[in-house]
Structure 1
Amino acid sequence: MKTHQIEIQKFKAAANNIHGQVLFKVDALLSTREPLEGMEPSSMLVMTEQNARVLMALLKTQLAEFDSKKPKSRHGRHG
Structure 2
Amino acid sequence: MDVITVKEERCKECGLCIAHCPNEAISFSDKLNSAGYRPVEVDDAKCIKCGICYTMCPDGVYEISQKGESGGEN
TM-score, normalised relative to structure 1: 0.23
Higher relative contact order, chain-length normalized (CA < 8 Å, sep 6+): 2
TM-score, normalised relative to structure 2: 0.24
Which is strand-richer, 1 or 2?
1
Which is helix-richer, 1 or 2?
1
Q: Which one has a bigger Cα radius of gyration? A: 1
